[in-house]
Amino acid sequence: MTKTPYQDLEDRFRRMDALSGALNVLHWDMAAMMPPGGVAARTEQLATLKTLRHAMITDAALPDLLDAAEADAHLTPWQRANVAEMRRHWIHDAAIDADLVDALSRACAACETIWRKARADSDFPAVRGALQDVLTLTRRVGEAKAEALGLSPYDALLDQYEPGGRAADIQTVFDDLGAFLPDFLDDVLARQAAAPAVLPLDGPFAVDKQKALGRRMMETLGFDFDHGRLDESLHPCCGGVYDDVRITTRYDEADFTSALMGVLHETGHALYDQGLPKDWRGQPVGADRGMSIHESQSLLMEMQACRSREFLEFAAPVMRRTFGGSGPAWEVGNLARLYTRVERGFIRVDADEVTYPAHVILRFRLEQAAIAGDLKLTDLPGAWNDGMRELLGVVPPTDREGCLQDIHWFDGAWGYFPTYTLGAMTAAQMFSAAKRADPVIPDAIAKGDFTPLLAWLRASVHAKGCSLGVTDLLTEATGEPLNAAHFKAHLKRRYLDG
């Protein structure tokens, strides 16, 4: 039986998805398990697979197949959405040639490896040359995609992570937050100073017990260990594929809370991946709907749900049993103050909800300037420190706490950072909508039951895959497009009124 153009496309994209899945697992292994001596072989593997996938999506037959499928009046709405996503992927990938794909893959693998040691040594000059190679090639990608999409180079790179996202729109949102947050931060810090001091949790906290606590909480949230695992890496991450989701965290025996929040954050990502529509696995329409939605799922779990007093009512006894804790420091009230403590810190992944947007705004500014050629990498550490001083009133003591702290740029992810704060705003809006739709959610969380919350997310977000655009998905789930008022209201309730 002769396949229709649409069926041919489904077969082709299913094979491409298998290659992408293999790449994801190899990247995860590189971050979590690969010995240092494996770099050369892994670089070759990644470059080869990326080049093969690129050859498949840039096959000369694709444009005619896409045209024919788009003209097919018999396609279902999901199939039409699938073709639209296929077209979007094709436009992005066909804009760049195979040599550039290969060169960027190799440059990123080399740079990430150098970054690991440079970060440990706080030695930015050691990785600057490799980062320049990545940046130069990324600019070429941005320029090529800009021409194909009719966008600026930065917007073309942003569109890879946030379909339809534009820097000018994001700047408007960030300007609004930038006007709101400084005075709000001062008010929160003043309120904290007048409140009882947070009692420290005295360690050490053995890593094996932290791992056991992390796994227990992953199960509580709904993570399926038959289709995923928890490991350790230098930078917490979520990778793998739908049915084999790999998450990592990093441990500090002096502070178990950082690793636990990393686990809860990455579990939010993993639950999204595990909940994507099974009938559309292997197809573009069955994938996640961009990084602001993905980040909303991780931040909804970590920040909205798992820093709530309700969650701590459930978690506090579990924490006490795990670490043998006792006394006032381990009571819910103190733990709530600990988990909602606001401070001007250096590290983005450890930042609280109030200061976190400033970390993102800084990176958004710097990566735009670097892509445009207005910021030289020799000036990056100084520009970073100046931005931290302006936005948060602190200056990192070393580049390890400054421009070396995140993996993203060193691994080629330019245009990604804005999605974190967009995700935080989206998370607040979604959590509010979920509680309106099912008022039992807070009481259930207080009992360690995430079933009602996960059921709402499965139906309203996860099961939609890419069948809707970002704005349409959020509007259908919450009743309105992105509205910063929900994020601001959440911050006021938790940090000033609570």
- Where in the sequence numbering do the catalytic residues fall? 266
Written as one string, the DSSP assignment of 80-107 is HHHHHHHHHHHHHHHTS-HHHHHHHHHH
CA-angle at 378, arms to 387 and 392, nearest 5°: 10
Residue 247: in which H helix or E strand, if any? strand 244-249
Helix (H) or strand (E) holding 351: none
Cβ distance 244 to 228 under 8 Å?
A: yes
Contacts of 97 (CB under 8 A, 6+ apart): none
CB atoms within 10 A of CB 428: 25
**DSSP bridge partners of 241:** 244
Helix axes of 291-299 and 256-275: crossing angle, nearest 10 degrees: 130
Helix (H, G, I), strand (E, B) or coil at 353: coil
Close Cβ partners of 439 (under 8 Å, ≥ 6 residues apart):
none
Task: Tell me the CA distances in angstroms from 227 to 211, 260, 274, 279, one per residue in order.
Answer: 18, 20, 8, 17
Give the separation between CA 310 and CA 358, rounded to whole angstroms.
Answer: 28
Comparing CA positions, the residue from 428, 437, 471, 467 lying closest to residue 455 is: 437
Phi, psi of 238 (to 5 degrees): -130, 125
Burial 49-69 (b: 16+ CB within 10 A, else e): bbebbbeebbeeebeebbeeb
What's the CA gap between 375 and 367, in Å, rounded? 9
Please state, as a whole number, how many other Cβ atoms lie within 10 Å of the Cβ of residue 74.
7
CB atoms closer than 10 angstroms to residue 489: 15
- Pairwise CA distance, residues 334 & 311, whole Å: 14
Could you tell me how many residues make up the chain? 498
